[in-house]
Amino acid sequence: MVEPIDGGAVAARMPVLARLAREFATDRPLAGRRVAAALNVTPEATALVRVLLAGAAEVLVVSSKPTTFDPAAAEAMGRLGARVLPGPDTAKEVLAFAPDLVVDNGSVAELWAAEPDPPAVVGGTVHSQHALGRVRRAGRLPFPLYTVTESAVKTTVETAHGTGQAALRGLIDAGVQIAGKRVLVVGFGVTGRAVADYLRGCHARVAVAEVAPVPLLQAVHLGFEVVGLTTGLATADVVVTVTDAERVLDLDHLRLLPDGAVLGGIGHAATEIDRAGLAAAADRVDPVPGGRRYRLAGRHLTLLEGAGGNHVFAGINPPELMDLSLALHALCLARLASTGPPPAGLHPVPAEVDARVARTKLAVLGLAGVLP
Amino acid sequence: MTTTDTHPTPAAGSTAAPPTDPPSTDAARSGARPSASATARLRLAWRQMPVLAALRRQVRADRPLLGVPVAAAMHVSTETAHLMVTLKDAGARLLLHPSNLGTLDPAAVAELRRRAIRVNLPDTGSAPLTEQLAAFRPRLLTDNGTLLTACADVPELAGDLLGATVHSRNAERTARALAAAGRLPVPVIPVADSVLKSAVETPAGTGQSTVHALVRATGVQLGGKRAVVVGYGTAGTGIARYLQAMRCRVTVVDTSAVACLRALADGHAVGALDTVLAEADIVVVATGTRQVVTDRHLDLLPDGVLLGNIGHYPDAIDVPALTRAADRVTALGGGVHEYLLAGRSVFLLGEGSQLNHVCAGGNSSETMDLTLSLHVLCLLHLVRRPDDLVPGLNPLPDSFSETVARAKLRALGHVA
Ligand SMILES: NC(=O)c1ccc[n+]([C@@H]2O[C@H](COP(=O)([O-])OP(=O)(O)OC[C@H]3O[C@@H](n4cnc5c(N)ncnc54)[C@H](O)[C@@H]3O)[C@@H](O)[C@H]2O)c1
Ligand SMILES: NC(=O)c1ccc[n+]([C@@H]2O[C@H](COP(=O)([O-])OP(=O)(O)OC[C@H]3O[C@@H](n4cnc5c(N)ncnc54)[C@H](O)[C@@H]3O)[C@@H](O)[C@H]2O)c1
């Protein structure tokens, strides 16, 4: 009997994982393996947990962040047969679980680096740019991790297009008419480029501010106006920050914005836009759709927020795209379990794994025939 | 439009081997003085290369390559001529071996000769390349693979070398193979690895020049046409984007599932070559592989289709098969030939060789400014910092791309 899954609407948008769940149930590639997965406890992650369990793993889910913890999803994971640790303070239990395989948000690597004699781990995966930074800073990594966050499928399809669409959605949810607006995109990495591209596609007038010359030159050649940050801020109707840095827009920057400007942050750092400084300096704060409106020296600025007051306003990556990277995790773990793991350290996702996920996605789109 | 029965001669398989009697070499052979407009075009191209021009001013003062023999194998164009002149101003002695006589620019040749830079043409001493190299004793190479291969066969030549820069993936593969076989104990820096090439020069340069070539060679109105791009790598992605911008309906064909998924997400259709050809108005091959459009596809090509290749290998489209199958082949000028196949006309651009080079002079000077400037920085690095380098392929230092990008932004009036 097929287990009913919660978050049905989400699961229906994750056909690659659904297909993998069927294949894993037959092949049982994770039989006898203990998997510790540090995940945002969401309906999307439930679809991954279901695949791991179908592959016959014993699964311990460690909640990545309290802000993204969805109790209904935790319950669904539990019903499927996983143990869920809501956190915080999960270190002891994770060590005691002695996982063979891990899906890491950086916390496992930190734990294993700090522990004098941690249990042996076969290997695992690491899922965000932020997590990768934590792993790198953690020091000696005693097991191999595949960097799912840097895979071709994840960067060129999921991150770029998922966040491009999510940014538009966040702005439109907040009642912004995009066409004709002067939008300043701050940061032109993989994600900033997609955000700029999607906004231009909806007929915004997009300018780009960057600190690095190579992405800036690329922006020039993609036809974007490039500006200095202070110049760009002075004429922006909308500002979106998409950097990997902290304190990109401080209070002095915010004072440059024209009345009525709308701002949103996408970078992982909560301090990318100085929200605390703005809140302290504002003489009035009102809730508005999608965020808060601040009155600062007679001008009104709307700062967008994600669900639960998250500093990332465009956090809702479509499940259709998360389907891809979560499938990469499942296949990387299966590969670690079946073939000899690579040496300890960080490794790119094997090209065959990327290709298999892409192939499966094309197949569910009815496009298997385009490949030889 | 002329109607003749000449059969085109497909370019030879190796870029080093000259195709037989290409028309554009005539002027060079006769040593004809280029027209005033050709000289003006050359000057305009050099103006459009501000990063290289700035390097040139710098090396003219420092002379960092004083007396160093540098051999280069590249397309002879106004842009590479600017590189040669820059190296000469740096004090180098030069030998330029054309990659392909079919793409030789007579104005560039004349300018190089005027500046006493030696270009290895069939009319100037026809000694085999290895003999010429043996006499020249290069210490640095800027290569498409030909020179490294030639030097690897001669121990004393290889022994002289400080290192080489290479500008294509194919040259990089050659260098890797030679190093793996232990035949080339010198450092090689692959300029093609620069993010400036993958993020700017190829997508913008080749995207624009391919679209330009299609329009210039055939006069086609692109809007509304169904275009098929075969190969969605760096080049194919740029070409598809430019075609889309010209309001073509683009379908992508690629053997990689990841590339197909990327194409879909970028808003293109995807399909299998065999099924999409029948509906195509335009087919551009950008795979960089051989034998992609072959005799089994010829029946699928619809009447009026424009067909061409921008990849490295001129046999990506099997031109001999096309020629065999044709009832008549007509040279239309501008690098276009019409093949009459059982009542259907197939218009082949560039005789199967890189159509943007043959029909439109290749990538813009403005984009080539980037990688050619990287060559200069790398050649200087090979001379100045030999201890930082290992034999075989060395990574291109990231800071070089940063430096060049910064200089370019400044020249374009953006402050970085
Ligand atoms: N919310 C989401 O769903 C989501 C999705 C993807 C990425 N992200 C986050 O978005 C951020 C960007 O991701 P990416 O993959 O594009 O990273 P990236 O490293 O490719 O790009 C970041 C860019 O920001 C630039 N930058 C740094 N400081 C700057 C400053 N002060 N002003 C202007 N530009 C500056 C850098 O030069 C770089 O080009 C990261 O923090 C990432 O975690 C969020
Ligand atoms: N004419 C120019 O100005 C110019 C400029 C840049 C690159 N190039 C040449 O273009 C070629 C491609 O370069 P690139 O950097 O895009 O390479 P790339 O490796 O990034 O892309 C090649 C793509 O073609 C696909 N492919 C391979 N064989 C195929 C087949 N039989 N059918 C369909 N798809 C296939 C690959 O999967 C890949 O996605 C190279 O030969 C390169 O030298 C020419």
Residues spanned by the domain of B407: 3-193+385-411
In a domain, B368, yes or no: no
pLDDT at B32: 52
Q: Is B393 exposed, middle or buried (0-12, 13-18, 19+ CB in 10 A)?
A: middle
**Secondary structure letter of residue A312 according to DSSP:** B
Q: B62 lies in a domain?
A: yes
Q: How confident is the model at residue B156 (pLDDT cuts 50, 70, 90)?
A: confident
* Average pLDDT of the residues in B302-323: 96
Categorize the per-residue pLDDT at A5 as very low, low, confident or very high, splitting at 50, 70 and 90. very low
Inter-residue contact B250 to B244 (CB < 8 Å): yes
Is residue B369 in some structural domain?
Answer: no
B154 and chain A: CB distance < 8 Å anywhere?
no
Element (H, E) at A196: helix A190-201
Answer whether B318's CB lies under 8 Å from B346's CB. no
Q: What is the pLDDT of residues B1-31, one digit of tens each?
A: 333 333 333 333 333 333 333 334 344 444 4
The number of angstroms, rounded, from the C-alpha of A296 to the middle of its chain's C-alpha atoms is 32
Closest Cβ–Cβ partner in B255, B271, B412 for A372 = B255
Q: Kindly indicate the confidence band of residue B121, based on its pLDDT and cuts at 50, 70 and 90.
A: confident
State the ligand closest to the CA atom of B257.
Answer: 2
User: Which residue, among A228, A240, A226, has the nearest Cα to A272 in the 3D structure?
Assistant: A240
3-state SS assignment for residue A37: strand
Mean predicted confidence (pLDDT) in A10-20: 88
Termini Cα distance of chain B: 50
Report pLDDT digits (tens) over A262-288. 999 999 889 999 999 999 999 999 999
- pLDDT for B13 equals 35
State how far the Cα of A286 lies from the Cα of A264, in Å rounded to an integer.
16
Beta bridge partners of A238: A183, A262
Residue B383 has pLDDT above 60, yes or no: yes
**How do beta strands A262-265 and A299-304 pair?**
parallel
A10 lines ligand 1 (CB under 6 A): no
Chain-wide mean pLDDT for chain A? 92
Phi, psi of B350 (to 5 degrees): 70, 15
Based on the number of CB atoms within 10 Å of its own CB, is B148 exposed (0-12), middle (13-18) or buried (19 or more)?
buried
Percent of chain A with pLDDT over 90: 81
pLDDT tops 60 at residue B285 = yes
CB–CB of A367 and B270 under 8 A?
A: yes
Q: What is the CATH number of the domain that holds B302?
A: 3.40.50.720
Asked if B186 and B207 sit in the same domain, the reply is: no
Q: Which tops the pLDDT comparison, B142 or B5?
A: B142
Instruction: Report the share of chain B in percent with pLDDT over 90.
Output: 74
- Residues B247, B180, single domain; the answer is no
Q: Are residues B275 and B391 in the same domain?
A: no
Residue A212 near ligand 1, beta carbon < 6 Å:
yes
User: Does ligand 1 lie within 6 Å of residue A209's CB atom?
Assistant: yes
The structural domains of chain A, ordered by start, are: 7-154+317-370 (3.40.50.1480), 175-309 (3.40.50.720)
Q: Does A221 contact B at CB distance below 8 Å?
A: yes
Backbone conformation region of residue B275, classed left if phi is above 0, alpha if psi is from -120 to 50, else beta: alpha
Question: How many domains does chain B fold into?
Answer: 2
- Residue B29: predicted pLDDT: 40
More confident residue, A3 or B415: B415
For residue A308, the model assigns a pLDDT of 75
SS3 A277: helix
Does B81 lie in the same domain as B62? yes
In this structure, the dihedral spanned by the alpha carbons of residues B169, B170, B175 and B181, taken in order and rounded to 10 degrees, is 130
What confidence category does residue B318 fall into, taking pLDDT thresholds of 50, 70 and 90? very high
Question: Is the confidence at residue B88, as pLDDT, over 50?
Answer: yes
CATH assignment at residue B109: 3.40.50.1480
Residue A142's alpha-carbon distances to A94, A123, A127, in angstroms, are: 16, 9, 18
Determine the Cα–Cα distance for residues A53 and A48; give it in Å rounded to an integer.
9
Give A190 to chain B, closest Cα distance, Å. 11
The answer to whether A367 faces chain B, any CB pair under 8 Å, is: yes
Within-domain flag for B172: yes
Q: Collapse the DSSP code of A266 into the 3-class scheme (helix H, G, I; strand E, B; otherwise coil) and give the result.
A: coil
Q: Which residue has the higher pLDDT, A161 or A235?
A: A235
B168 and B207 housed in the same domain: no
Q: Is the CB of B210 under 6 A from ligand 2?
A: no
Both tokens of A106, joined, read 């950086």
Q: What pLDDT does residue B350 have?
A: 95
A:152-171 residues touching chain B, CB 8 A cutoff: 152-153, 156-157, 160-161
pLDDT reading at B119 higher than 70: yes
Q: Tell whether B416 is covered by a domain.
A: no
Q: Do B178 and B223 belong to one domain?
A: no
B365-384 vs B50-62: helix crossing angle, rounded to 10: 30
**pLDDT of B17:** 34
The token pair at B218 is 């055939």
The average pLDDT across A359-372 equals 92
Per-residue tokens: B137:
């004793």
Place of tokens 């620069």: B194
Distance CA A164, CA A182 (A): 17
Structure-token match 């081997």, residue found = B17
- CA B357 – CA A24 distance, rounded (Å): 51
Query: Cβ distance B227 to B249 under 8 Å?
Result: yes
The DSSP 8-state label assigned to residue A27 in this structure reads H
Question: Same domain, yes or no, for B395 and B314?
Answer: no
pLDDT at B204: 92
Whole-number Å distance, alpha carbon B231 to ligand 2 midpoint, is: 6
Query: A100 and chain B: CB distance < 8 Å anywhere?
Result: no
Instruction: Show residues of chain B in contact with A232, CB under 8 Å.
Output: none
Output the pLDDT for position B34. Answer: 63
Mean pLDDT throughout B271-295? 97
| A160 CB within 6 A, ligand 1 | no
- Closest approach of A335 to chain B, Cα-based (Å): 19
How far, in Å, CA of B290 to CA of A191, rounded? 35
Q: Which amino acid is at B285?
A: V
Asked if B268 and B250 touch (Cβ cutoff 8 Å), the reply is: yes
Residue A9 confidence (pLDDT) above 80: no
- What's the rounded Cα separation, in Å, for the pair A79 and A124? 24
Any atom of ligand 2 within 6 Å of the Cβ of B356: yes
- For residue range A307-333, list pLDDT tens digits in order: 777 888 987 778 889 999 999 999 999
Model confidence band, residue B184 (pLDDT cutoffs 50, 70, 90): confident
Which of these, B120, B123, B124, B173, lies nearest to B144 by C-alpha position? Answer: B173
**Please, are residues A113 and A133 in contact by the beta-carbon 8 Å criterion?**
no
pLDDT number for residue B2: 31
Mark whether B101 and B219 lie in a shared domain.
no
Give dist(CA A39, CA A102) in Å, integer.
11
Neighbouring residues of A340: CB distance < 8 A, sequence distance ≥ 6: none
- B43 and B99 part of one domain: yes
CA distance B256 to A357: 11
Residues B108, B72: Cα–Cα separation, whole Å: 15
- As a whole number, mean pLDDT of residues A226-242 equals 97
Q: Tell me, what's the pLDDT at B177?
A: 93
Q: Is the pLDDT of residue A6 over 50?
A: no
The pTM is what? 0.84
DSSP-derived pairing of the beta strands A238-241 and A262-265: parallel
| Number of inter-chain CB pairs under 8 A, A vs B | 82
- Chain B nearest-CA residue for A369: B272
> Is B367 part of any domain?
no
C-alpha–C-alpha distance, residues B379 and A270, integer Å: 44
Quick one: pLDDT band at residue A227, thresholds 50, 70, 90?
Answer: very high
For residue A224 the two structure tokens come to 């974007």
Three-state SS letters, chain B: CCCCCCCCCCCCCCCCCCCCCCCCHHHHHHCCCCCHHHHHHHHHHHHCCHHHHHHHHHHHHHCCCCCCEEEEEECCCHHHHHHHHHHHHCCCEEEEEECCHHHCCHHHHHHHHHCCCEECCCCCCCCCHHHHHHHHCCCEEEECCHHHHHHHCCHHHHHHCCEEEECCHHHHHHHHHHHHCCCCCCEEEEHHHCHHHHHHHHHHHHHHHHHHHHHHHHCCCCCCCEEEEECCCHHHHHHHHHHHHCCCEEEEECCCHHHHHHHHHCCCEECCHHHHHHHCCEEEECCCCCCCECHHHHHHCCCCEEEEECCCCHHHECHHHHHHHCCEEEEEECCEEEEEECCEEEEEEEEEEEHHHHHHCCCCHHHHHHHHHHHHHHHHHHHHCHHHCCCEECCCCHHHHHHHHHHHHHHCCCCC
Of the candidates B341, B358, B375, which is a domain's last residue?
B358
Mutate to test the interface with A, among B258, B260, B368, B406 (most CBs of A within 10 A): B258
**Token pair of A162 as six digits:** 């998922």
Any domain includes B67:
yes
Q: Minimum-distance ligand to the CA of A149?
A: 1
End-to-end CA distance of chain A: 35
Percentage with pLDDT > 70 across chain B: 90
Q: Does residue B292 sit within a domain?
A: yes
Distance, in Å, from the CA atom of A210 to the CA atom of B103, rounded to the nearest integer, reads 38
Q: How far is B412 from chain A (nearest CA, A)?
A: 9
Q: pLDDT per residue over A167-211, tens digit each?
A: 998 998 898 989 889 999 999 999 999 999 999 999 999 999 999
Q: Which of B340, B358, B376 is the last residue of a domain?
A: B358
What are the residues whose beta carbons fall under 8 Å from the beta carbon of A304, sequence distance 6 or more?
A170, A171, A174, A262, A263, A264, A265, A290, A291, A313
Q: Which tokens in the block code for residue A223?
A: 């036809």
Do B150 and B255 share a domain, yes or no?
Answer: no
A301 with A257: CB under 8 angstroms?
yes
* pLDDT for B397 beyond 90: yes
Average of pLDDT values for B254-259? 97
Q: What are phi and psi of B284, to 5 degrees?
A: -115, 125
The pLDDT of residue B154 is: 85
| Same domain flag for B207 and B306 | yes
Q: What is the predicted pLDDT for the residue at B232? A: 98
Contact B386, B162 (CB under 8 A): yes
Do residues B50 and B103 share a domain?
yes
